[in-house]
């Protein structure tokens, strides 16, 4: 990775949000404008198609990203969710229409000069850290908007953000991220993450731009690869691919998977 623009070619964060049993809930993702695809992985919408009999538990797995999100029915309330080192679950009620922007790792701090560590394992009222973005969402979004109309609004706003931002393309940080992504997180941090700076300096960069340590970020990337393998028809548990992924044994794999996903691999619902 020679620059921060290469991250999109090395990483696809997966969120298995809706399962076959969630008959009246839909989840969709769509790409931003090409000029934003180095910074924003996707726009997304999670909504009910009819009122549910019980409150819906929104299950978010660890993916290394930072998201802005809000309920399209009430865009005055918007939030940002930082890097999480475990799964997160929210009760959304029986009817909802959430919309979000998922930023690639490092891009939220690049665009908005917010220390990612201050957001880690938290969801924060967007008004408290980025009031101008919160006002934009409140003033321009409403429940009648279609995805195409929302994309137009998002693209216009964030293209201006990107074009007026001076990015800090610290090659030491992005070389380290490239090594982690190219090894699917299966990397010896102290021995193989040689980027020309001390481990303390590298940790400071990861803290600010991602919100965690290189070691924890690597674990999330390794976990994400197991989801991709499972989605591609390669059951990791059955084929013992967890050894190739760098887990010591099956117990190690199951423990880490449960931390990041919220359940064991064998109990993941059908998508």
Least Cα distance to 5 among 43, 42, 34, 29 occurs for 34
Q: Is the dihedral of CA 177, 101, 15, 120 positive or negative?
A: positive
pTM of the model: 0.92
pLDDT at 235 over 80: no
Q: CA 51 to CA 65: how far, in whole Å?
A: 30
Q: CA 271 to CA 231: how far, in whole Å?
A: 9
The domains found in the chain, sorted by start residue, are 9-163 (2.60.120), 171-267 (1.10.10.60)
Which runs of E-coded beta strand occur in the chain?
25-30, 40-48, 57-60, 66-71, 78-81, 88-91, 97-103, 123-125
Q: What is the pLDDT of residues 59-114, one digit of tens each?
A: 899 999 999 999 999 999 999 999 999 999 989 999 999 999 999 999 999 999 99
Q: CA 219 to CA 240: how far, in whole Å?
A: 18
At 185 the three-state DSSP class reads: coil
Q: CA 74 to CA 216: how far, in whole Å?
A: 35
Q: What is the mean pLDDT of residues 129-149?
A: 97
Contacts of 127 (CB under 8 A, 6+ apart): 78, 134
Of 76-80, 124-128, 132-136, 223-227, least confident by mean pLDDT is 223-227
């Amino acid at each position: 990775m020679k620059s921060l623009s290469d991250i999109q070619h090395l990483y696809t964060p997966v969120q298995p949000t809706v399962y076959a049993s969630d008959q009246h809930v839909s989840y969709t993702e769509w790409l931003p404008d090409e000029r934003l695809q180095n910074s924003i992985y996707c726009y997304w919408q999670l909504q009910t198609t009819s009122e549910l009999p019980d409150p819906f538990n929104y299950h978010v797995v660890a993916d290394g990203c930072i998201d802005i999100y809000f309920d399209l029915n009430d865009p005055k309330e918007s939030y940002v969710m930082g890097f999480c080192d475990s799964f997160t679950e929210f009760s959304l009620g029986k009817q909802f229409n959430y919309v979000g922007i998922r930023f690639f790792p490092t891009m939220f701090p690049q665009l908005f000069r917010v220390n990612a560590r201050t957001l880690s394992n938290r969801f924060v009222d967007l008004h408290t850290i980025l009031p101008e973005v919160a006002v934009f969402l409140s003033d321009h979004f409403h429940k009648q908007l279609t995805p195409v109309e929302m994309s137009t609004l998002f693209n216009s706003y964030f293209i201006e953000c990107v074009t007026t931002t001076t990015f800090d393309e610290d090659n030491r940080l992005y070389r380290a991220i490239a090594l982690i992504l190219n090894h699917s997180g299966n990397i010896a941090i102290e021995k193989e993450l040689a980027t020309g700076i001390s481990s303390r300096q590298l940790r400071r960069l990861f803290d600010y731009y991602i919100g965690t340590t290189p070691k924890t970020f690597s674990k999330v990337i390794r976990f994400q690869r197991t989801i991709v393998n499972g989605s591609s028809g390669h059951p990791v548990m059955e084929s013992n691919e967890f050894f190739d992924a760098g887990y010591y044994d099956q117990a190690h794999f199951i423990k880490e998977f449960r931390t990041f996903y919220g359940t064991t691999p064998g109990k993941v619902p059908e998508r």
